[in-house]
Amino acid sequence: MKLLVTIDVEEEGLFSGNYPREESPASNVFELDALDSVFLELNVRPTLLVSYQVANKDKALKKMFGLKDRWKAEIGAHLHHWNTPPIVFDPVPQPTPSELMSTDLLEAKASSLFESLSDGQSRPTSFRMGRFNLGPKMFQVLERMGVKVDSSISPLRKSYGGPDHLMAPSDPYFPNPLDPREKGKSSVLEAPVSILPIFRGVDRRLDLLSKTRYFPERATEWLAMNVASIAIQPAWVNLNVAKAGVRLHRARGGKCLTIFFHSSELAPGMNPLNTTKEAVRTFIKNLRTFIQWLQTRYDAQSYTLSELYPVYEQLRVTSKENQQD
Ligand SMILES: [Zn+2]
């Protein structure tokens, strides 16, 4: 089993329902040290997907490069398209869905972010879109920016501004650039976050329901999240549920797990999940227990997002060769 631990390293205030365009504090990133006990002791190399508001602060950025060295981590890019320059004011509910922005504007925003994360020699090759708001326009930008691995697809999820990811695959795949929720021939590898349909076909049925006028969007979102899916995410679910998800994933032939959480979840009170120091300690303990279980039971091997690329590229080459034989 391949294990990817990915962290959205970002500014504070995003769980308040506001998406300010102004500069925001990012003191939470200094709490990430608490993960030493997971990453160093279990030999896990995470991917830090860093937002512009973090990258644009000298001390916070220095912290990222320090963690990169200490954890042998990868630094990738995390685009909050609502507060990454150039900022454009749109008369729609915030955050503006990325598909309503022009490709040129999205590319300019991605360039600001990638530039701010460059160490002078190299730029990020892994990426996640803020609020998983990835559609065909942003995907084209990723192809042009030289991104190798994207992790912006959240299967069985649907939220404001879509496009929804209800029917996306659960294991890594090369997407169709015109619809990154389906398999195709892109050069960018997609590593979706690990959320599974609870039974095969439930995603298709939800998709059909969501297209009827009797079924409000919010109802589909709720059903998809609370009934129809199982999230292999220790930040969200208890470990018995996460373990059940792993068994199901394996039984369906799944080979890769992509765990994700936010940097602010290490800072008590700066997120809705872990409001106290005790809750943060419990989260870290659960994460550690879960990874140890994966290592013991499934021989989980740690990969950063970009490290996954050559593995799947080789699989693609081999399957093409087999087709030609
Ligand atoms: Zn984010």
User: Which three-class secondary structure state does DSSP give residue 9?
Assistant: strand
Q: What is the pTM assigned to this prediction? A: 0.94
Ligand 1 center from residue 195 Cα (angstroms)? 18
Ligand 1 center from residue 290 Cα (angstroms)? 24
- Given this model, what pLDDT does residue 163 score? 67
Ligand 1 center from residue 319 Cα (angstroms)? 35
Residue 22 sits in a domain whose CATH number is 3.20.20.510
317, pLDDT greater than 70: yes
User: Which helix (H) or strand (E) is 301 found in, with range?
Assistant: strand 301-302
Per-residue pLDDT tens digits for 236-290:
999 999 999 999 999 999 999 999 999 999 999 888 899 999 999 999 999 999 9
Task: For residue 100, count other CB atoms closer than 10 A to its CB.
Answer: 12
| DSSP calls for 101-170 | S-HHHHHHHHHHHHHHH--SS----EEEEGGG---HHHHHHHHHHT--EE----TT---TT----TT--S
Number of domains in the chain: 1
Ligand 1 center from residue 323 Cα (angstroms)? 40
Per-residue pLDDT tens digits for 163-175:
677 778 999 999 9
Ligand 1 center from residue 284 Cα (angstroms)? 20
Ligand 1 center from residue 8 Cα (angstroms)? 6
Report which DSSP code applies to 241.
H
Range of the domain at 202: 2-324
Ligand 1 center from residue 46 Cα (angstroms)? 16
Ligand 1 center from residue 321 Cα (angstroms)? 39
Could you tell me the two tokens for 104? 């040129």
Could you tell me the two tokens for 261? 């959480």
Per-residue pLDDT tens digits for 21-67:
888 899 999 999 999 999 999 999 999 999 999 999 999 999 999 99
Ligand 1 center from residue 127 Cα (angstroms)? 11
